[in-house]
Structure 1
Amino acid sequence: MLEIIFSDHYLILYVATIVASILSYKKYFESKLRFLPILLTYILLTEVLGLVIQLDPELNPFITGLYSDYNYIIYYTYSIIFFCYFFYIYWYYTSSKKIKNIIVYGGIAYLIIAIINAYFKSIITERQLFSYTYGSLLLIFSALNFIVENKSNPTLFRRLLFWISTGLITYQSIYFPINIVHSYITQENIDLYYQIAPFHKAAVVVLYSCFIIGFITMKPKIK
């Protein structure tokens, strides 16, 4: 099992992103992005746990028995933490009161939808399609707004949040429709999974490559 886990190229990319975030930490440790290394480490641990559950369902720490090979519950928790963190980041870094209100009320709506979605669709056996799609669209909007607000800033391309936004917009724009398709894949159309999987993998590479570029090229904030 360990050999399979360590041979996963995407986990290596996650580790590389964490290392880059730590090496560049002094550039942004006084900003609201200072918790990024913690979030990235949490994402890595979530992916490792998800892979472990797939390889050996008996090691599932949350579910035993018939559904022990399902890992939806860990991604449900991950999605809430991930979206809420970035909603806060974009709320903080926008200067528009209107946009701040949209993000606040949109974030509250996301949490309500996540709870309702979990009520009607089991977080153990089913994807939380509606809450993820809504959260993804709100995140894309928030990230795009940050870029548009700062488009005239001459140092925009040296800002970490620009590269994070670029990665998030690209990834979420590709993944949320893939997630919808995944939700309707059955044994009868399993070939569809293999057709769209490369697009998901490419989106992951773009996302974390943007993070790494941001950590490397970012300009420290002048005190």
Structure 2
Amino acid sequence: MEEFYNFITEQYFLPFYIIVWLVAVVRYRTFFDTPLKYYPIYLMYTFLTELLGYLVTHTDQFQFFSEKKYDWHNVIIFNIYSVIAFSFFFYIYWKVLQSKKHKRWVAYGGLISLLSYLISLFFQDPLHMNLYYADLIASMVLLFDIGLYIKEKRSEEGTYPIKNNLMFWTTLGLSVFHAIFPYLFLIAYEAPLIWAKLQLREVLKVLIIFMYGTFMIGALLGRRSSFR
């Protein structure tokens, strides 16, 4: 019972993932035929990744490495997650954008991001270290894609409330999170004393809650007619 309590208090955002996933499943009819139709799969994948990461760190049954000094390392699953998650959102904005030029830019940005992960493999060990430079590049590319989306939205004459647009809430969460999170990882690896002193891990958790909170609000308020 004590172990479960510690799990909930230390990883309080994990149950939140399930709540967001449940809301997305219940409201699936409002976006089932949109580019976000794979949203629930992405949300469940996120939850399972975080859960596996916790189990690797805190239990003996899920360890990847036999050496004692590495038995708690779980970073490989998060490096894989980063590539998949960024690819998912690159795909979303590629589908949502209407300008062919903007679509090409999204595709080029996606290729640059994937290339940055490949290049990082020559300088960083993905088994024991986050590929944080590649994460930074991918975040900048995603923010660029978001800028293209906002530019197109501002040029439209919409008749539906923006609060009912799931893409608006998704974009809001992604833009705030990715404007900050890669720099937190840079500090964590390049200046670990500052990371610990400022308790930036808690800042990261707050950013996660904010991002997935906007995802949940979007699913709750979203209307199929307002999606774009």
Q: Select the residue among 159, 163, 172 that pairs with 2:178.
A: 172
Q: In structure 2, the residue corresponding to 1:119 is in which secondary structure? A: coil
Cα contact 1:14–1:208 (8 A) shared by 2: yes
SS at 1:18 equivalent: helix
Aligned to 2:225: 221
CA distance in 2, matches of 1:81, 1:193: 30
> Residues of 2 paired with 1:150 and 1:190: CA distance?
37
In structure 1, the partner of 2:196 is: 191
RMSD, aligned α-carbons: 1.8
1:34 aligned counterpart, secondary structure: coil
Cα contact 1:144–1:169 (8 A) shared by 2: no
**CA distance in structure 2 between the aligned counterparts of 1:95 and 1:30, rounded to whole angstroms:** 17
Give the residue type in structure 2 aligned to 1:87. F
Letter in structure 2 aligned against 1:4: N
The question of whether the paired residues in 2 share the 8 Å contact of 1:147 and 1:162 is answered with no
Gaps of 5+ in 2: none
Tell me the percent identity: 25
1:209 maps to which residue? Answer: 213
Correspondent of 2:64 among 62, 65, 68: 62
CA contact (8 A) 1:174 1:199 kept: no
8 Å contact from structure 1 (residues 167, 207) kept in 2 = yes
Which sits farther off after the overlay, 144-153 or 118-127?
144-153
Name the aligned partner's letter for residue 222 of structure 2: M
Match of 1:140 among 128, 143, 165: 143
Q: Distance in 2 between matches of 1:154 and 1:197?
A: 41
Residue of structure 1 in register with 2:131 after alignment:
128
Instruction: Tell me by how many angstroms 1:145 deviates.
Output: 2.0
Q: Secondary structure at the match of 2:72?
A: coil
> What is the distance in 2 between the residues matched to 1:91 and 1:80?
16
Q: What is the Cα deviation at residue 140 of structure 1?
A: 1.3
- Classify the secondary structure of the residue corresponding to 1:221: helix
Q: Cα distance, 1:190 vs. partner?
A: 5.8
Q: CA shift at 1:93, angstroms?
A: 0.8
> 1:38 Cα shift?
0.6
Which residue is equivalent to 1:48? Answer: 51
Q: Is the 8 A contact 1:185 1:193 kept in 2?
A: no
CA distance in 2, matches of 1:13, 1:190: 25
Q: Distance in 2 between matches of 1:75 and 1:25?
A: 27
Aligned residues: 219
